Structure 1
Amino acid sequence: MALKSFRDRQWADRYAPHIAPVNEYVDELREMGRGWAPYVAPLHGGVEARVLSILRDPGPATQDEVGSGFICVENDDGSAELQSILLEEAGISPFELLPWNAYPWYINRKPKASELDAGVETILHLLELAPKLEVVLLQGGDADHAWRRLLRIVPGVERERGLTVVRTFHPSPQALFVRDPAERAARVARRRAAFHEVAALLSGDRVVST
């Protein structure tokens, strides 16, 4: 999003057919009294996506005033940059991705349990909007907690939808703030391996996620 022309194109296309149902839903979320929520960039697949990628909450780079106004792997922040790199390394197009957050409203902190519950409702709605989803990529502990809460509400959703869940660490540098160098290296490796697992699943080569 560093290029104004790219950001302007994304903004102009924010209601393109593939992404309109998602961003119209974001418009609804903004009216719910929980605050502001970013759009999903039309660079991503929207209702055509095959991978639902869930992080914690929208970061500052998603804000209108200081950022792009979008959830996007082309945002100007470390988490987006790493995801873009990992997607490219694994051979996954950003269009395959529907990026979202465990709590989709902007808070820039760890969500409370009640906020995760509210976020679960939005994830369930996305599953309805995007029928082609095959993989759920959970990036970080809060995303994992949100998904487990979702499974308590709809315990058979993975089986019924044919979803495979891949778990990994959050792409933020904070995920590497551990004392043990071996653990830090393992987390770096796991983040890369997760994206390759997703690529294998999309190609039809079933793998066992961890």
Structure 2
Amino acid sequence: MASADNWKRAQPHDPFWEEQREGMTEAHVAPLNELILGLGAAKGGLRLPFAAPWHGGIDAPALVVLNDAGEPREETTFMCVRSPDRAADRQRHLMTEFNIDPGDLCHWNGYPWPRKDPKRKLTPRQSLEGGQALMQVMGLMVDLKMLLLLGRMAQDAADAVLPDLRSAYPELRIVRSLHPLGAKRTVDRDEQKRVWSDIAARLGETRQVARNHCLP
């Protein structure tokens, strides 16, 4: 597991991001980043955040789906909990509190393309586009056990393709919860922690099963 000392937020010019850029073609993230380039090209060359090799990529047992890619930006960014923003901070704190390894998670967005109005709800068309892209990502995952839909846009995208998703992944555990920044009241924060505690427990079970399969 990554040392907690290395979980601090990384500012734009932190050497950590150069390490992520150098690792973009590693086997566990290369298929995702190829898909991301294709999705961006299909929208006229939009820049999408890439999959960070610090996380588990296609080998992760859990796919974390957030809302969207935010506003269009020129700099290369990554879907990573070390990003210097409040949502990443909150998720990083939850992962640290419940001892969740960064390699257990792969990140995605319900609507993966940047939007000029990221605070608006997704239109039905955007939800469907996001859901179709989500299905493409899930098709790359090696041993997906959990789909974490964190926020309304993530849930709307999944719901737009839910019959196909359920048919393709009948045993997949789907968790619906608040966006990392959605817990504004004490009761919401308590519920958010309950959900993440359950996520951690199930990821622990997944690791134990994998270890048992490796025993002679």
Give TM-score, length-normalised by structure 2: 0.82
1:84 alignment counterpart: 92
1:158 offset after TM fit, Å? 3.8
1:185 alignment counterpart: 186
Alignment partner of 1:41 is 2:52 = yes
Alignment partner of 1:22 is 2:23 = no
CA distance in 1, matches of 2:31, 2:126: 23
2:177 alignment counterpart: 168
* Runs of at least 5 residues in structure 1 that lack an aligned partner in the other structure: 178-183, 206-210
CA distance in 2, matches of 1:81, 1:63: 20
CA distance in 1, matches of 2:201, 2:146: 11
Give the aligned residue type for 2:175: V
2:201 alignment counterpart: 200
For residues 169-208 of structure 1, give each alpha carbon's deviation from its aligned partner in whole angstroms, at most 9, with x where no partner exists.
Answer: 1112xx246xxxxxx1111112222211111111228xxx
2:15 alignment counterpart: 5
CA distance in 1, matches of 2:153, 2:15: 34
Counterpart among 58, 64, 71 of residue 79 in structure 2: 71
Give TM-score, length-normalised by structure 1: 0.84
RMSD: 1.9
Counterpart among 110, 119, 139 of residue 102 in structure 1: 110
1:58 alignment counterpart: 69
The number of equivalent residue pairs is 192
CA distance in 2, matches of 1:176, 1:95: 25
| SS in structure 2 of the partner of residue 73 of structure 1 | coil
Identity rate of aligned residues, in percent?
A: 28
